[in-house]
Structure 1
Amino acid sequence: MLINKFIFKAIFVLGFFFFQFEASAQDGPVEIQIDANEELGPMKPIWAWWGYDEPNYTYMKDGKKLLSEIASLSPVPVFVRAHSLLVTGEGTHALKWGSTNAYTEDEHGNPIYDWTIVDKIFDTYIERGMKPFAQIGFMPKALSSKPEPYRHYWKPGAAYNNIYTGWAYPPKDYKKWAELVYQWVKHSIERYGKEDVESWYWELWNEPNIGYWQGTTEEYIKLYDYTADAVKRALPTAKMGGPEVTGPAWDKSEEFLRTFLDHVKSGKNYVTGKTGSPLDFITFHAKGSPKVVDGFVQMNMGAQLRDISKGFEIVASYPEFKHLPIIIGESDPEGCAACSEADYPHNAYRNGTMYASYTAASFSRKYELADHYGVNLLGAVTWGFEFENQPWYAGFRDMATNGVDKPVLNVFRMFGLMEGQRIKVNQENLDYNFIKVRDESVRGVNPDINAIASKTNNSIAIMVWNYHDINDLDVPASTVKLTIDNIPANKVLINHFRVDQELSNSYTLWKKMGSPQNPSPEQIQSLEKAGHLHLFTSPEWKNIGKGKTTLEVELPRQAISLITLSY
């Protein structure tokens, strides 16, 4: 039996590498054609949204540093969503835990409001020109209908369901909950001003269709009515939404989302007794599903895109809501940012360029799916921040490790250079389009080599990626031939930025250093420099003939290029 297993393994590995050899044996370059005259719509900064579980990391050393970098890469204010903003505790933090002590009660059951820690979190955002995507949750201990046990002590490798403790339960008094919400919004106006708070987004809870909500669907709807009413009483022009369900493609999730939308449209409001509830935007979550297959990480972008597609389809089926902004409240390759690579080997994609190329390819398809369903996609929250005082490159889903940027953050820097109008990328001769990736993921012989492009009055930007669900980098680079037509200039300045195994990649340098867990100050300085976005070639001027030019790029597997033409 052992011999048979060995032979099977050997056959699989040989077959796999033959598959990869065939994948690299494309006939000639991959040709991508872009027409600057064919506008598709605004290049909305749907990527300028971030979130994380641990709110108290916000004002810690590396948290503040990363927030500053995220704010600086975006031409528009970045929105930030964090869990546990109403959780009881003295600002303690741990993996998948945080607290603010915003609400307690005296011995007579009278409310005590303390906004000190919440203010510290929001001040950190506001100081950087960012804006809260204010998550109203979770349940303070004094209001929880099942307060004990209240705090969890989860760690990677432990059962995930252990996190659902007293903070996840409905309130024992909905009116006290509503007053808490009212006081929070009122306090925010007093501290930050009405105009600023009007630009925020307020939402209730997180993933109430799974363990994060230990009540029923109807109890969540009741909580939403009380919450929305309180927000609007404090600020009638505030933007309120929900329900932040996860996995719209799951049957029970679809049922939850539709039940919520039906109530908002025509149900009896628990507070006012009137028909319907306020709803200014709609939220849901979408996650991929990687796994390890015979030693290789195999991503599943299709699973994430199917969730997004189903969520868009559901919203589009309601004429009353189709125009409303949609925020994908968490949009990621899988579901647990705090689950490290050591305990969950399928998370090995996170430190290197696979996370980066996945991000480039998946965000492009979010735009296309929104076009396909005719819905108003406003944002897609990347649930990946940083984990304070953890081992270097521990394999968490984060943007930086110990203050050093990972390759994935440089893709967002690239998106930050893409403004104006999206323009058409001709995909007729390419191996993948958004429908095929949604339905099949990227499992074919050839990789997904594709692009997204934008233009302003004086520039064109093209992001190109070479992505495959199988994280094998030992394949030759692909030649990509870009043809850009209808360039309104006779001469352009070309800048070529790159994320690959060498450039804009602190992780590769760290491994070359010997993977130190206590790098020297000089090593840290080198890692920080390597973590920034770098040019692949020197800037060059190029003459344009008849408004058209062709560029050839050698693009390695899991690499991303951003090429800008300025005029």
Structure 2
Amino acid sequence: MERRNFLKQALITVAGSAVLPGTVKSMALWEEQPPFIIDAKNPGKFFEPHWNKGVGAGRANDASRPVWGDQLSVAAKACGFKYARFTGIFHDDMGVYNGGLYNWTLVDDLLDKTLKAGVKPFIAFSFFPKDIAGSDATQFSWNARVVPPTDFTKWNDLVTEFTKHIVGKYGEEEVNKWYFETWNEPDLRTFWDGTKTQYFTLYKTTVTAMKAVAPKVKVGGPATSGLSGDTQGAWLDEFLGYCRQEQLAVDFVTAHPYPSDSAGKPRELGATAKDLTALRNTVSRNFPQAEIFVTRWSTSPIPSDAVRDDLPAAAFIVKENVDAVGLVNGVFYSSFIDGPEELKDIFHGGQGLMNASGIAKPAFHAYRMLNALGEELLYNKDGIVVTRHKDSKKISAILYNIPVTVTTGVSGGDRAAVTALMSKGETKLYSFKIQNMHPDARFNVDILSKEDGNAIFQWAKAGSPEPLNRDQVEVMKQVANGLNEEQVLSSATGVLYIEKNLAPWDVVLIDELSK
């Protein structure tokens, strides 16, 4: 792919120091109207990065795909993910339970692949095995059993034996670092065809069984869908009240608030921060010591959302996440990869950061860039995010251009709608300087744009070939990682001047390197 010189179209300049080849020196640029200044020594707002705590990993049986572990490893290394969340660990296709007999072969394979990829398991207990479910009714093409039993004795035994097995194989110290989430969206009949009271019984049975074997194991829930239509989270509030009344441990609380409605209609920009604030308030008044995780998040909950394959998703991901720092412990993107049950088109708006072949989408680069940020927030306004790393004091920044005419999320459309969205807005100039930095510091500058790092654009430009053969997949992987790159230096006095024009939806990472 043609590599354009980033700094021929916009300047990232340094004053009073050597400039690397390809940059343009502009000493007089600020004489008439100097830029605003960000001081790298100012006190920052310390925060726990929530975007790299974990990522969705589909159903447990997806790990049976030969490339699953390698693809998870790629995502974990690039984006810094520490946990991988999967559902369906007790689903029939895992072969765990048959008439009171237990078989952990596929479970062990899943857990081994997860750990080998450099991440730890975040297990959502589901679904019921055939011999435990309350009926033969199923959901989805893969026959999820969501009707609870009238007697939870067999479920208690299953959870107990599972806990004994993983503690025996991996050790209690290791298992205590994992998370065990009780079910997935029990407020929706699609996932839980039972009563709220039955779910409460399921949770009580699960947490009691696990803690009896490993008292320090982390158990939580309820992974409700959104906040059940109200900003106070009444369903969640009732669940937490029940646990408090029954004196049940709740080590962490989970929910799935999306920045759109259930049909994919976008809500206002900033909806994520609003949701996480409400979620935090609900948890704080019930279990103030509990960790809080959003274990499914994306542009929308709908299976196919075309924008997830394209550039606007990246800028949206950056904004919604950075604007919500300090509210929760983790926000998990829906999946690191498109699932095997999703539509078979190369790009179909699937829920992954990569398509099923491992081709990175712009959303992947958004998380890679977020992972580069430090833990101290120095500035966050108007598409400029500047952070400082706590220990090294290095500076990392992200610039993004969401057009001012866009006041909602970006979800819910088809390819034509995404094309219309891409046409909105104007190029925006970003100019400022950062002072009191490390002198002569070297920075990597990566730019994600319509043409660079945007696989679907290059795929369409090539005639939308489908299916891709093996060689074409490898070429597309290279194209998907083909961001414009440049290196610049701060001055001998520790000043970096930034002047950059960003087209609508562009995202830029400016990352100080270690000496």
1:84 aligns with 2:88: yes
Report the Cα distance in structure 1 between the residues aligned to 2:262 and 2:256, rounded to whole angstroms.
20
TM score, norm. by length of structure 2: 0.83
Identify the range of structure 1 (464-473 vs 208-217) with the bigger mean alpha-carbon deviation. 464-473
Structure 2: segments with no counterpart, 5+ residues: 1-32, 411-417
Q: Using the TM superposition, give the Cα deviation of residue 32 of structure 1 relative to its aligned residue in structure 2, in angstroms.
A: 7.8
CA contact (8 A) 2:259 2:266 kept: no
Q: Using the TM superposition, give the Cα deviation of residue 234 of structure 1 relative to its aligned residue in structure 2, in angstroms.
A: 1.4
Report the Cα distance in structure 1 between the residues aligned to 2:312 and 2:262, rounded to whole angstroms.
14
Q: 1:18 corresponds to which residue?
A: none
CA contact (8 A) 1:301 1:333 kept: no
Mapping for residues 109-148 of structure 1, pairs under 5 Å: 111-146=100-135, 148=136
Decide whether aligned partners of structure 1 residues 495 and 517 sit closer, same or farther in structure 2, where only a CA change above 3 A counts. same
1:320-374 alpha-carbon deviations (Å, 9 max, x no partner): x2232111111221113xx23xxxxxx2211111111111111112215x1xxxx
Q: 1:446 corresponds to which residue?
A: none
Report the Cα distance in structure 1 between the residues aligned to 2:393 and 2:456, rounded to whole angstroms.
35
Q: Using the TM superposition, give the Cα deviation of residue 190 of structure 1 relative to its aligned residue in structure 2, in angstroms.
A: 1.8
Residue type matched to 1:565 in 2?
A: E
Decide whether aligned partners of structure 1 residues 193 and 426 sit closer, same or farther in structure 2, where only a CA change above 3 A counts. closer
Q: 1:282 corresponds to which residue?
A: 253
CA contact (8 A) 1:34 1:425 kept: no
Q: 1:24 corresponds to which residue?
A: none
Q: 2:285 corresponds to which residue?
A: 317
Q: 1:552 corresponds to which residue?
A: 499
Q: 1:17 corresponds to which residue?
A: none
Report the Cα distance in structure 1 between the residues aligned to 2:127 and 2:371, rounded to whole angstroms.
32
CA contact (8 A) 1:291 1:298 kept: no
Q: 1:205 corresponds to which residue?
A: 183
Identify the range of structure 1 (306-315 vs 193-202) with the bigger mean alpha-carbon deviation. 306-315
CA contact (8 A) 1:31 1:480 kept: no
CA contact (8 A) 1:47 1:382 kept: no
Report the Cα distance in structure 2 between the residues aligned to 1:30 and 1:283, rounded to whole angstroms.
43
CA contact (8 A) 1:249 1:310 kept: no
Q: 1:408 corresponds to which residue?
A: 363
CA contact (8 A) 1:241 1:280 kept: yes
CA contact (8 A) 1:291 1:299 kept: no
Report the Cα distance in structure 1 between the residues aligned to 2:468 and 2:359, rounded to whole angstroms.
12
Residue type matched to 2:213 in 1?
A: A
1:422 aligns with 2:387: no
Structure 1: segments with no counterpart, 5+ residues: 1-27, 89-98, 106-110, 155-162, 269-275, 341-346, 371-376, 431-448
Q: Which of residues 323, 347, 358 in structure 2 aligns to 1:365?
A: 323
Q: Using the TM superposition, give the Cα deviation of residue 187 of structure 1 relative to its aligned residue in structure 2, in angstroms.
A: 0.7
1:376-434 alpha-carbon deviations (Å, 9 max, x no partner): x2211111222338221122121222221111111122122224x2222153xx4xxxx
Residue type matched to 1:314 in 2?
A: T
1:254-306 alpha-carbon deviations (Å, 9 max, x no partner): 222111111222x23xxxxxxx101111111111227999xxx9665444443
1:68 aligns with 2:101: no
Q: 2:439 corresponds to which residue?
A: 490
Residue type matched to 2:278 in 1?
A: K
Q: 2:276 corresponds to which residue?
A: 308
Q: 1:540 corresponds to which residue?
A: 488
Decide whether aligned partners of structure 1 residues 35 and 57 sit closer, same or farther in structure 2, where only a CA change above 3 A counts. same
Q: Which of residues 273, 281, 292 in structure 2 aligns to 1:326?
A: 292
Report the Cα distance in structure 2 between the residues aligned to 1:112 and 1:291, rounded to whole angstroms.
39
CA contact (8 A) 1:399 1:405 kept: yes
Q: Which of residues 340, 350, 357 in structure 2 aligns to 1:388?
A: 340
Q: 2:19 corresponds to which residue?
A: none
Q: Secondary structure at the match of 1:538?
A: strand
CA contact (8 A) 1:359 1:408 kept: yes
Q: Which of residues 330, 335, 340 in structure 1 aligns to 2:301?
A: 335
Identify the range of structure 1 (202-211 vs 450-459) with the bigger mean alpha-carbon deviation. 450-459
Report the Cα distance in structure 1 between the residues aligned to 2:238 and 2:339, rounded to whole angstroms.
36
Q: Secondary structure at the match of 1:37?
A: coil
Report the Cα distance in structure 2 between the residues aligned to 1:60 and 1:249, rounded to whole angstroms.
34
Q: Using the TM superposition, give the Cα deviation of residue 138 of structure 1 relative to its aligned residue in structure 2, in angstroms.
A: 1.4
Q: What is the count of residue pairs matched by the alignment?
A: 461
Q: Secondary structure at the match of 2:157?
A: helix
Decide whether aligned partners of structure 1 residues 303 and 417 sit closer, same or farther in structure 2, where only a CA change above 3 A counts. closer
1:203-232 alpha-carbon deviations (Å, 9 max, x no partner): 100111111122222211111111001111
RMSD: 2.7
CA contact (8 A) 2:433 2:497 kept: yes
Q: 2:5 corresponds to which residue?
A: none
Report the Cα distance in structure 1 between the residues aligned to 2:266 and 2:152, rounded to whole angstroms.
45
Q: Using the TM superposition, give the Cα deviation of residue 125 of structure 1 relative to its aligned residue in structure 2, in angstroms.
A: 0.2
Decide whether aligned partners of structure 1 residues 44 and 298 sit closer, same or farther in structure 2, where only a CA change above 3 A counts. closer
CA contact (8 A) 2:224 2:255 kept: yes
Q: 2:6 corresponds to which residue?
A: none
Identify the range of structure 1 (382-391 vs 324-333) with the bigger mean alpha-carbon deviation. 382-391
